[in-house]
Amino acid sequence: MQTDTPITTHQATATDSQSAASGWAPSAAPPIIGKLNKKLIVILIAAIIIIPTAYFGVHGLLGQDQSENVQLYKVVRRSFPIILQEKGELQAANSIDIKCELEGRSTIITLIDEGKQVKKGELLVALASDEIDEELREAEIRVATEQADYEAAVKEHEILKDENASNIRKADLKLKLAKLALEKYEKGEGVELRKDAELALDKANYDIERAEKELKDARVLHEQGFVTDIELEDYIRAQKTAAWDREKAILAEEVLEKYTIPMSMEEKKSDVVEAEKELKRTEKEASASEAKSEAKVNAAKSEFDLVQEKLAKLKDQKKKATIKAPADGMVVYTSSGSGHHYREDKQIELGAQVYERQSLIELPDTSKMKVVIRVHEAKTELLEIGLPAVVEIESHSGKQFTGKVSKIGVLADSRNRWLNPNLKEYETEILLNGEFTDLKPGITAHAKIQVTELKNVFAVPVQSIFGKGGKYYVFIDKRGEFAPAEIEVGLSSNEYVEVTKGLKEGQMVSLVITDEMKLKIPDSKGKEKSKAMPSETAKRKTSPRRLKTRPNAQK
């Protein structure tokens, strides 16, 4: 190493003096060379320490491996499952539904305790039957009323028969007159119109022949000077008028034969047809009204018998006020709003009012259990019977149960429509594998249904995708600058989104999307709307039941 600082003789002498005083003998090299060697050693040691440190520091700032950057993700092929997660309720796979069979409303006056194991024939519910007794008294009063109605119906039936006969006679007369009008036109009025047209045409032919002859003579006289130019013009005009009259006569005859007579004939024939239809219609109406009146008479006559039948029915209702267990099982109360979504749910209890066909108690068979979940309509496209599922039950923490999808609702269940009018969900059942003795219905359960599994596909994290104007983008790192790249997406899970087009393996995409990045996205329309994050229920394009994914929406 060279230095630009001069070494003086004075400095060298001082150095030699110090060396001599200390007893150290210098080497044969000149003094200036020895000092330079010391400096070189110091500089080399510093270089060994500083240069690698500086190199790795700069490399860490400028050339650091981007795969280690926590805000970047390297595009690779991966395999991951598509899981549908829903919360539901544990229920028995088979259950007997005990319903109220009394008409109208009734009150519970006796009720067995919930959770109790009962035997077949044991009393479950007793309902008040005061209204049934009141209806029995009303049935007796209706007997006299129905007898009066029957007598009135018989008289009305006789009057109706006389009116129908009169209407039929009028319709028959109208038909006869229509037929006579047709015959009159065909043999009289039509013939007369043809004769008039023939006479008009004959007259027109005569007039044109006469006018042409007079014009011919007038031309000869005009050449001889006996007829003036004005008089000749009159003859010419008369000839043209006669020719036009003949054309009109010919046209009038054609119109008569082609339109007037056929139209009138069709009209007369139509009158005959309509009269025939009206006669048939009148006869049918008479028959129908008489049948209806006769049915009314029969109904009034049988009403008394119906009252007697109702009395037997009321006795049967009285018997149904006492409900007994049809089989062995565990008592589970059913909400009084079950089957009536428009009614407010009330607890089954003593003194509660219940309705006809309302479920009161269930007797579940707990050896076979199922989980009932409600799946949003956007996710049902992915569901299929037989898909495997894993279930966790809150009362059995740490334990997982297996099962499969056994039923998918055909129609949307909108029982929560008053909370969200646009919410449509489909009730789906998962049948658990095996038999059970320690599970009880009504417990909250968490189900995970494996819809499918993507294998060896390109995928990126959900948060790296941005949607705008119906398109999806990621931001690719290009030496510290991020450029938007349009992609096409497929299925997605909670973490990853399948990318079917637009990315290559090894590319680095940003996991953080800033407002500055969003401004780089091309906007051809200026008012395009952004799209939502792709849901875990999005389907493949190759699937016939594909559901579109919706990545991050522009805010």
Alpha-carbon distances of 531 from 422, 473, 509, 534, 541, rounded to whole Å: 19, 11, 20, 9, 18
126: Cβ contacts below 8 Å, ≥ 6 apart: 108, 109, 110, 111, 321, 322, 323
Is pLDDT of 393 > 70?
yes
Is pLDDT of 530 > 90?
no
Coil, helix or strand at residue 176: helix
Fold assignment, 133-318: Helix Hairpins (1.10.287)
Question: Which has the minimum average pLDDT: 55-69, 396-410, 513-527?
Answer: 55-69
Query: How far, in Å, CA of 554 to CA of 359, rounded?
Result: 49
Instruction: Determine the pLDDT at residue 432.
Output: 93
Stated pTM of the model = 0.43
Instruction: Determine the pLDDT at residue 452.
Output: 86
Sheet containing strand 353-355, strands side by side: 322-324, 123-127, 105-111, 353-355
- Domain locations along the chain: 9-62, 101-127+322-357, 133-318, 454-553
Helix and strand counts by DSSP (H, E) for the chain: 7, 20
Instruction: Determine the pLDDT at residue 336.
Output: 44
Check the CA dihedral 249-253-255-256 and report its sign. positive
Percent with pLDDT over 70 in the chain: 78
Instruction: Determine the pLDDT at residue 337.
Output: 42
pLDDT tens-digit map of 371-389 = 999 888 878 888 889 999 9
Instruction: Determine the pLDDT at residue 554.
Output: 39
What are φ and ψ of residue 129, in 5° steps?
-125, 30
Q: Which two tokens stand for residue 421?
A: 């009018």
What are φ and ψ of residue 188, in 5° steps?
-120, -70
* E runs forming strands in 409-506: 425-432, 444-461, 466-468, 471-478, 481-492, 496-501
Fold assignment, 454-553: 2.40.420
Mean pLDDT of 489-506: 90
Query: How far, in Å, CA of 413 to CA of 376, rounded?
Result: 10
What is the number of alpha carbons within 13 Å of residue 191 lying toward its C-beta? 6
Instruction: Choose between 547 and 260: higher pLDDT.
Output: 260
Q: Which two tokens stand for residue 206?
A: 């005569």
Query: How far, in Å, CA of 212 to CA of 218, rounded?
Result: 10
Query: How far, in Å, CA of 532 to CA of 521, rounded?
Result: 16
What are φ and ψ of residue 331, in 5° steps?
-75, 125
* Residue keyed to tokens 């009169």: 166
Instruction: Determine the pLDDT at residue 482.
Output: 93
Q: Which two tokens stand for residue 50?
A: 């500083």
Highest mean pLDDT, choosing among 28-37, 378-387, 465-474, 528-537? 465-474
Instruction: Name the nearest CA neighbour of 361 among 135, 56, 115, 151.
Output: 115
Is pLDDT of 281 > 90?
yes
Q: How many CB atoms lie within 10 A of CB 496?
A: 22
What is the number of alpha carbons within 13 Å of residue 87 lying toward its C-beta? 4
Coil, helix or strand at residue 116: coil
Check the CA dihedral 479-481-487-493 and report its sign. positive
Confidence of residue 412 (pLDDT cuts 50, 70, 90): confident
CATH 2.40.50.100 fits 101-127+322-357, yes or no: yes
pLDDT tens-digit map of 90-110 = 888 888 899 998 888 889 999
Q: Which two tokens stand for residue 269?
A: 């024939």
Is 492 within 8 Å of 536 (Cβ atoms)? yes
pLDDT tens-digit map of 326-343 = 988 888 888 644 444 444
Instruction: Determine the pLDDT at residue 157.
Output: 92
What are φ and ψ of residue 374, in 5° steps?
-120, 120
First to last CA, the chain: 63
